[in-house]
Each structure stands twice: as structure tokens, then as C-alpha cells.
Amino acid sequence: MKIGESGRLQVSRRPRSSPRRKRRGLQTRREERWFYFFIAPWLIGFIFFGLGPMLASVGLAFTDYNLSGWPSFVGFDNFERMVDPVQGPLLEKAIRNTLYIALLVIPLQILIGLGLAVLLSQQVRGMPLFRTAFYLPTVVSGVATVVVWIWILGSDGLLNQGLELFGIDGPVWLRDPATVKLGIVIIMVWGGTGGMMIIFLAGLQSMPRELLEAAAVDGASAVRRFWHVKLPLLTPQLFFNLVIGVASGIGVFTETYVVSSETGPAGSGSPANQTLTLVMYIYRQMLVNLQVGYASAVAWVLTAAIALLTAIQFWSSRRWVYYDNDNR
């Protein structure tokens, strides 16, 4: 906050008018103009690609619009459709699928990411090599890696070959409605864990050594040191990973879109609507069914849900996130 402490700006607040004050005032105004000059690109972008579209989206949620002609106002019809017997069940299915995937993926990514970070933080030789192996999936996660996973989780894929060693006859994971979501969870855990690990590792490596050594000297066991010293110090990283994990878990799209093309048209939610997630539902309503007004209403419910979850996390973070005042 060096700017606030700069003497020059405080002087300008002197009440008496004098040539000197005029000059300072000019200086302040000059700086103000420069400020708006520098943030102009962001401000224009915010209005045209952020605020404007968001307001438009709120408006669209109350209209019937099929991308041609003009939207017509329909009041709360779109919101009523979300719970009516025709559209309701499919939307409910999409919400259930999204929650199923997110509630498995987020804890698994965080726990495995934390575990790997703890292993790597023990002064391991060849650490960069291991770090690369765990982090690379996050860097490249996307369509190209889902293609590989479709084979790995296929009928004679690696996973089933491995299960066969234990005498288990595995399903065709991504074609069977009963297992397709588990398959997607496996793909997402593989792809997202490394990113969480890197964050935890950064936290573990910047931890004050004196604190850990003091705990060890006091005779605290490794387990106690982890629970009572390391974990509390890692809560900022845990919080960050949780916020990012929830937003990206609920926004799942790429994996389900590609996997659905195994058993039906891409983005269809196939098999048996098991891969139909909320974002895919919005995508389909907008571009396949051309129900733009209804899709906007659903998008707003999703946005509100994510905003609420984020707000809850921020609010609760005051109770469980420990910030070291020296660093932040």
C-alpha cells in the first residue's frame, strides 16, 4: 500500500488555496487521467464482454428467443419450466449427474493432491521429475487425453487387463450407463490432481522450518506434526484448491462431451443421459433446441448456485483458514 502513504498525495488535501495546491491538484488529476488511460482496455472489455452480456442474459431469462427475430417477454415461464413435468426430470438428471461427478472428483483431487505433495516435500531426490509426472496430466488435460482414456477404460483396455489379473471381469466403463460416470471421475481425478498437488507443494515448501523443528524437538510424532502444524498452515492452499475445484467440478463439460460420443452423438448425454451435466444441458438447450431464453434461465440458476457456494466458502473460510500475517 505504498501509494496511500506517498506524501505528495496527502499534501494535496491541504484546505488552503494556494498556487502550490493548484499544482498538486493538477498532478492528482493528471495521475487520475493516466489511471483511466491504463485501465481503459479492461473497462471497455468489462462493459462489452462482461457487464453488458450479463445484464442481457438476465433479460433473456425472461424471454422466449430462438436466435432469430426478437425475443418476446414471457415473465417467469422459463423458471416454471425448470420444475414442470416435461423439462423438470431431465434438468434434475443433469443436476444429479453434475453433483455425483463433482462430489467424487473434488475430494479425491484434493486428498490425492495433498498426499502426493506431502510425499514430494520429504526432500526427495529427483523431485522435479516426479513433479512433472504428476503435473503433466493437468497441463495437457482435454480432448486429446480423453481419447487415450476411452481406450484405457474400454473393453480390452488397460484397466480391464489389470482387473483381469485379479480375476475381475471389468465392464466397458464408458459405454455402460452404470459405470460411465465413475469412468469420467477417474479421468478427471487423473487430470486435476497434479494442479492441486503443485499448490500444496508450494505451501509445504514455504513453511517456516523453525516451527516444524520446534514441534519435532517437543516430541510430537510425524502424524501429530502433520495434523497440528502442517495442515493448519496449509489451509490457505486448501481453501484456494476448494474454490477452484468446486467451480471447475460443477462446470464439467469437455470430458462428458467427448465421452458421450462413444455411444451416441457428441454432447448428447449418452449413454442413457448419464453424461448429461448442467453445462451440457445448457449447451443443448441453446444450440440444439434453440431455447435460448430457457437456457439463459438455467444458466442463471447455475451461476447463482456457484456464486452461493463460493460465498459460503469465503464466509466459512474465516473460521478455518489460517493466514500468517507476516506473509499476506
Partner 1 sequence: MTLSDISSDSSTASTAIGPVTGGRRSWRTVRRIVLYVVLIGLSFLFALPFLWQASASFKNSAQILEPGLNLIPESFKLDNYSRVFDSVPFDSWFYNSLFITLLGTLGATFSSAFCAYGFAILRARGSNICFALALITIFIPFEALLIPEYILFAQLGWLNTPLPLIIPWCFGGGAFNIFLMRQFYKGLPRELIDAARVDGASEFRIFWRIMLPLTIPALTVVAVFHFIFLWNDFLRPLIYLTDVNETTLPVGLSGFLSRFSRQWAILMAGSFMALLPIVVLFAVAQRFIVKGINLTGVRR
Query: Considering only residues 279-318, where is the footprint of partner 1 by CB under 8 A?
Result: 279, 282-283, 286-287, 292, 295-296, 299-300, 302-303, 306-307, 310
Site string for partner 1, 230-269 (x = CB under 8 A): ------xx--x---x--x--xx-xx--xx--xx--xx---
Dist CA 32 CA 213 (whole Å): 50
Nearer to partner 1, 104 or 196 (CB): 196
Dist CA 133 CA 177 (whole Å): 31
Nearer to partner 1, 69 or 85 (CB): 69
Cβ(28)–Cβ(12) under 8 Å? yes
Dist CA 66 CA 75 (whole Å): 16
How many binding residues for partner 1 (CB under 8 A)? 106
Residue 195, interface with partner 1 (CB under 8 A)? yes
From 89-97, 101-109, 140-148, 174-182, give the range in contact with partner 1 by CB under 8 A.
140-148
CA nearest 196: which of 232, 246, 149, 125? 246
Helices (DSSP H) in 6-76: which residue ranges? 7-11, 19-46, 52-60
From 14-22, 95-103, 167-175, 194-202, give the range in contact with partner 1 by CB under 8 A.
194-202
Cβ(163)–Cβ(80) under 8 Å? no
Residue 179, interface with partner 1 (CB under 8 A)? no
From 73-81, 83-91, 93-101, 209-217, give the range in contact with partner 1 by CB under 8 A.
209-217
User: What is the smallest separation between the CB atom of 31 and partner 1, expressed in angstroms?
Assistant: 6
CB atoms within 10 A of CB 214: 12
From 87-95, 173-181, 275-283, 317-325, give the range in contact with partner 1 by CB under 8 A.
275-283
Dist CA 51 CA 47 (whole Å): 5
Residues 57-116 within binding reach of partner 1 (CB under 8 A): 57, 60, 67, 116
Instruction: Name the β-bridge partners of 64.
Output: 72
DSSP conformational letter for 176? S
